[in-house]
Structure 1
Amino acid sequence: MITKLIYNQAEIRQIFEANSWQRKVFNEQATSFRSRSRLFPCTFGVAGFESDQLRYAFSESMNPEEVANALLQYLKDAKSFGKNTSLLVFSRPGPVQSIEHYRSRFWSTLDGIHKCDKTDWPQDIPHEINTPEWEWCFGGEQIFVVCNTPAHVNWQSRRSSSFMLTFQPRWVFNGILDTKESAKKATSKIRNRILNYDLITPSKDLGLYGDPDNREFAQYFLDDHNGEAVCPFHSFLKNNQKEEEVA
């Protein structure tokens, strides 16, 4: 029997007790999505929440293997959930650490999830992370990843009481960011919301996939002060290939 790892809103309310950490972190995020006085910047996320297309998973310590298994379950049926779907993964809240701690934890976790992937990296996606065409992939799918942490203060849209990851399949953006006109319309609405929501101006690292000056990795984990993005690894796959050669 396959253990259920991902949930919709009704299942969370049915399965987890009201005072559980799972319900508390879910309710916090739900409140952000529902607010009409303070509009959450990511319009895709809000639309996904309102139509119950988002799916949620919980991992005590964001164990890479647990998250990989939840992501596999999600991707299996993701297209049936709807156009605005994403997978939100929450960890149990704990003492607040530094931004640098969470940055390191994020990339370490993402690398650990990648190592659990039994599907080959897509041939049309470069191995080199510091390129405009690179994007994190899992199960053969291109996925945009966002990290929220308790240490984010200025970036309120990246703040959460727990270490939290959001996985958004690239196909979600098909038909929305395909042309300059549609992309400008979508991003300008999000940027306007950022100006009213966050305590800091929109990061220069926020860009469109494939643009020559854009780097996807820089958008996954944002500094809380709009600092210069630092490439976390020269390459995920090159490092892994070296490990395999040594083994």
Structure 2
Amino acid sequence: MSRLYLRKGEVASSYAVSTWQSVMFSEFEAQMSSEARPFPCVFGVAGYRQDQLRYLFLDPFDVEVLGAQLARFVAESRSHGPNTSLIVFTRPRPVQTLEAYYRKMWHTLDHLARLDKSPWPDTIPEQIDHPMWEFSFAGEPIFVVCSTPAHVTRQSRRSSAFMMTFQPRWVFEKILGTEKAAAAAFAEVRKRLIPYDSTSPSPLLGRYGDADGREYKQYFLADDNQTEVGCPFAKLAQNKTSSAKDREQAA
């Protein structure tokens, strides 16, 4: 399959101003480039400014297409720069509940795991409820972020349509290579989160590998700090057969 994801400059030349793709990307650009209201994810902002992010627009939201593009992105990602991520945009549709988007995200990850042609990395536990677990695809551990139109008070996780970000874990390892660098980066993220969101920073946010931490809980944050739902899977891809039900729930 040919490359479908785009660089920043390719988006404008590929989609007219009136299209949903252009509207969604304009919203994203406004978030990433705001000086008055800096977006909390300093890694994402740096990636945007340095043109290291890649953008995939899916309509319909076909997980098989996503899988093929994600595999290609993983293979090429180190050539994009140290702050790269794959941002996946979908067409705006009637707003669903946070719970519906939460299920959609996890069924998408499970479907991707079923499609994955590479073995699960030896260094990553397959059981999700483990401090060292991370979603992995094409042999690469990847941190996932889900944004939705149902997020209201947690504006840092809000988008006008269902959106997923796939950030290779090696990005964090390069940036947070020392304790001093990690402490400074997390302090800056927290500093930006406090005025950006109408709710306090989630207690689920933490460092990868902390004994009490769970990466999967950070993929999808509730709109408040009281709601916490468990992952619907003990491990992804219990079998490799994708079903019609999976495709329907991910649509």
Tell me which of the two structures has the higher relative contact order, counting C-alpha pairs closer than 8 angstroms and 6 or more residues apart.
2
Is residue 236 of structure 2 the alignment partner of residue 228 of structure 1? no
Runs of 4+ in 1 over 3 A off after TM superposition: none
Deviations, residues 77-132 of structure 1 (Å, cap 9, x unaligned): 11111001100000100000100010011101111111111000011111100000
Q: Which secondary structure state, in structure 1, belongs to the residue aligned with residue 132 of structure 2?
A: coil
* Distance across 2 between alignment mates of 1:203 and 1:92: 28
Q: Which secondary structure state, in structure 2, belongs to the residue aligned with residue 240 of structure 1?
A: coil
Is residue 118 of structure 2 the alignment partner of residue 110 of structure 1? no
Q: Is the 8 A contact 2:194 2:200 kept in 1?
A: yes
Is residue 42 of structure 2 the alignment partner of residue 43 of structure 1? yes
Q: 1:242 to 1:126 in 2, by over 3 A?
A: farther
Q: Which secondary structure state, in structure 1, belongs to the residue aligned with residue 224 of structure 2?
A: coil
Equivalent AA in structure 2 for residue 68 of structure 1: G
Aligned residue runs from structure 1 range 165-244, under 5 A: 165-226=164-225, 227-237=227-237, 239-240=238-239
Aligned residue runs from structure 1 range 47-126, under 5 A: 47-126=46-125
Aligned pairs, how many? 241
* Distance across 2 between alignment mates of 1:240 and 1:155: 35
TM-score, scaled relative to structure 1:
0.94
* Distance across 1 between alignment mates of 2:49 and 2:177: 24
* Distance across 2 between alignment mates of 1:4 and 1:131: 34
* Distance across 1 between alignment mates of 2:111 and 2:3: 21
TM-score, scaled relative to structure 2:
0.92
1:192: how far off?
0.6
* Distance across 2 between alignment mates of 1:25 and 1:39: 18
Deviations, residues 155-189 of structure 1 (Å, cap 9, x unaligned): 10100001000000001012433443322111010
1:228: how far off?
2.4
Q: 1:241 to 1:91 in 2, by over 3 A?
A: closer
Equivalent AA in structure 2 for residue 144 of structure 1: F
Identity percentage of aligned residues = 46
Mark the runs of 5 or more structure 1 residues left unpaired by the alignment: none
* Distance across 1 between alignment mates of 2:163 and 2:145: 8
Which residue does the alignment assign to 2:247?
A: none
* Distance across 2 between alignment mates of 1:178 and 1:134: 19
- What CA RMSD, in Å, does the superposition of the two structures yield over aligned residues? 1.5
Q: 1:14 to 1:215 in 2, by over 3 A?
A: same
Q: Which secondary structure state, in structure 2, belongs to the residue aligned with residue 236 of structure 1?
A: coil
* Distance across 2 between alignment mates of 1:218 and 1:181: 25
Equivalent AA in structure 2 for residue 21 of structure 1: W
Equivalent AA in structure 2 for residue 36 of structure 1: E
Q: Is the 8 A contact 2:24 2:89 kept in 1?
A: yes
1:229: how far off?
4.1
Aligned residue runs from structure 1 range 2-17, under 5 A: 2-17=1-16
1:216: how far off?
0.4
* Distance across 2 between alignment mates of 1:17 and 1:145: 29
Equivalent AA in structure 2 for residue 43 of structure 1: V
1:73: how far off?
1.9
Deviations, residues 29-75 of structure 1 (Å, cap 9, x unaligned): 01100111101000000000001100000111422111111112211
Which residue does the alignment assign to 1:128?
A: 127
